[in-house]
Structure 1
Amino acid sequence: MELIPRPKLDLAPGAVHLPDWLDLAAQRDLLAACREWAPGMRQQRLPNGGVMSVRMVCLGWQWVPYRYTRVLDDGSAVLPFPEWLGDLGRRAVAAAGFAVDYRPDIALVNFYDAEARMGLHQDKDERSLDPVVSFSLGNTGVFRFGNTENRGRPWTDVDLRSGDLVVFGGESRLAYHGVTKIRPGTADPDLGLSGRLNITLRVSGMD
C-alpha cells in the first residue's frame, strides 16, 4: 500500500496510466491464470533472425511476426480467450474513460526476466483500432510511451508496478511503445512472482 497514492497519469491524448488498479487479490487471480497458460510460452523468432528476449504465450489468436494465426507451429489450436478476461478488459477500458463496447479476443502474455526488453513498436497487426489494455504483474518495468510517427522523441518513461493498468486508444492507438528496463526485486513478496508478467488485450477485428 502506497503511503501517498500515485495519481492517474495521462501519457498522451488517449493513453492513460492507472496505478494500483488491480488489488493484491486480483493480481493473484490473474497470476494463477498465467501459470496455467505458461507451459505454452516461447521466445518468438523475428524475420531478421533475431529472437525476442521475452517469453510469450497467446490466447485467442497467435501472434507470429507480423500477423495472427489460429494455429501453433505444431498444428495445434491456440489457447482460447476466456470470457472473464474480456470482462476484466471492459472494466479497464471503462475505468480509463473510453466509451466503447470493448470485445477483446486476443491476449498476449509476456514474461520478462531481469534482462528482457521490448523494443519500441506499434500494435498495428490488428484490423481493429479499439483500445489496447495492458496489465502488469511482478517486478517493475520501465515503460516507454512514444509518438505515432517514429521511434524517436517525444516519449514518456513511466514505472509500471504490479497491479498497474495502461489503456491506449484513439489518437494514441498506434503510438510506439516498449519496455526499456526491468527493476529486479521490486515485486511484492506476497504476490509470489519472480520476474514481470504483462498481459495485453487487443481486438483483432478478424471475426
Structure 2
Amino acid sequence: MTTTFFLVRHAAHGLLDRVLVGRTPGVGLSAQGRRQAERVALRLTGERLTAVHVSPRERARETAGPIAAASGAPVVLSLDLDEIDFGTWTGRSFDELAGDPAWRAWNERRAEAQPPGGESMRSVQARIVRLLDGLARLHPEGRIAVVSHGDVIRAALLHYLGLPLDAYDRFEIGPAGVSILVVGSWGAKILSLNETLALDETLAPDECVAPDQRVTA
C-alpha cells in the first residue's frame, strides 16, 4: 500500500522574487496567483484527493482553497508545512541581502548555515519529513495534497531522493508547481517534479517579477 502526496508550492504573490517574505503576515496571492491556484485545482480534480494539508501562511491557504473546493477534501492546517523562519532576514529585499556574508553562506552551504535568529534547513527537512512519514503510516492508501513553500518542498524531495541539502538548487520548485511523491513501507519514489502546467505565462504589467534570486518565499 502506498500514500500519494501532491506537493504544491503556493501560487504567486506580488512580492515574489523581490522580497524574502518568509513568515511575514498578510501576504496573499496576486491576481496571477489566484489564476494559478484555480488551474492547480483543475489539475488535481481527477486525483481523488482524501485531504489537503496546508501551511498556515495566507498565500498557501489561498492556494489550497480552490483545491479543497474542487475535490471536496477536508483542509488541515499544519505548522510542519510552514515557511522557513528567516529570522532577521524576514521582509528584507533580495537587493539588501545580496551584500550580507551570512546570506551568501546560506546559499552556498545550505546544510550548515542558518538565518540569523531563524531556522536551519536541516530543521525544516526534519519537520516536513516527520509529517509526510506520519501521514503515510496513518493513511496508507491516502491521496493527499500538501500545499507549502518552495524550499520546504525542496527539503522533503532531497530527503526522499537521498541527496544532500547542499543540492537544494539542482531542481526548481516554481510557484504553483506540483510534484508527486509516493511513500510506502518499501520506501519512496518521485513520480513527477515541478509540473507547471498551471502557470499563467501572461503577466499583467504590475505583476512582472525580477529574475530568480536563488531563494524565493
Pick the TM interval, shorter chain.
0.3 to 0.5
As a proportion of its length, which structure holds more strand?
Answer: 1
Compare relative contact order (CA 8 Å, sep 6+) and give the higher one, 1 or 2: 2
Q: TM-score, normalised by structure 1?
A: 0.34
